[in-house]
């Protein structure tokens, strides 16, 4: 059994998408650069995982670097979609934690929670990495008896301090 001491990070769809972001607005450029910095320099501090829904979302996308975006996740293990995950998604929707689209945010959160990921890494600051929603998510996960991952962005999961060599 492989037991790692590194925190487990569920990589949600927006992270590889922003790695290859092409929009020119300053906010989009900043997110792209933060994502690349995290992916290139920080990810080795963590055990990365993702889910089949991430790959499906990336494959449905219509963007110029679609294949490169998918390829970025080629070495990342996929978490299995256990039966219980569907029930967790239904509970999230019933308790209005997430929008009604079960293929979206609720499924990512359910995967990360069920599989005890320390972090769910995302740029979705509307439904996931949103401090105003976290208490509701924490409450529902506690009621369901499942793990509560930290919902965060690449910029928040970066090591910013300078280390003396």
Per domain, the residue ranges of the chain are 8-152
Work out the pLDDT band at 124, boundaries 50, 70, 90: confident
Of 41 and 128, the one with more pLDDT = 41
How do residues 132-148 score in pLDDT, each as one tens digit? 788 899 999 999 999 99
Q: Which two tokens stand for residue 138?
A: 């924490």
Work out the pLDDT band at 89, boundaries 50, 70, 90: very high
Which residue from 52, 47, 117, 122 is spatially nearest to 80, judged by alpha carbons?
Answer: 52
Look up the pTM and report it: 0.90
Using the predicted structure, report yes or no on whether residue 157 has a pLDDT greater than 60: yes
The torsion defined by the Cα of 144, 146, 147 and 151, in degrees rounded to 10, comes to: -50
Work out the pLDDT band at 164, boundaries 50, 70, 90: low
Angle at alpha carbon of residue 73, lines to 69 and 79, rounded to 5°: 135
CA gap 99, 16 in Å, rounded: 22
Taking domain 8-152, whether its CATH number is 3.40.50 is answered by yes
């Amino acid at each position: 059994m492989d037991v790692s001491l590194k925190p487990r990070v569920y990589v949600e769809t927006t992270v590889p998408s922003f790695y290859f972001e092409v929009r020119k607005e300053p906010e989009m450029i900043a997110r792209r650069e933060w994502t690349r910095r995290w992916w290139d320099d920080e990810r080795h501090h963590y055990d990365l995982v993702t889910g089949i829904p991430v790959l499906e979302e990336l494959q449905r996308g219509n963007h110029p670097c679609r294949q490169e975006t998918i390829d970025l996740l080629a070495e990342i293990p996929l978490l299995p979609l256990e039966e219980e995950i569907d029930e967790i998604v239904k509970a999230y929707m019933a308790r209005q934690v997430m929008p009604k689209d079960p293929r979206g945010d609720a499924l990512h959160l359910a995967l990360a929670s069920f599989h005890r990921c320390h972090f769910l890494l995302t740029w979705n600051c509307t439904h996931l990495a949103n401090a105003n929603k976290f208490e509701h998510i924490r409450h529902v996960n506690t009621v369901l008896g499942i793990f509560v991952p930290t919902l965060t962005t690449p910029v928040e999961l970066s090591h910013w301090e300078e280390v003396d060599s």
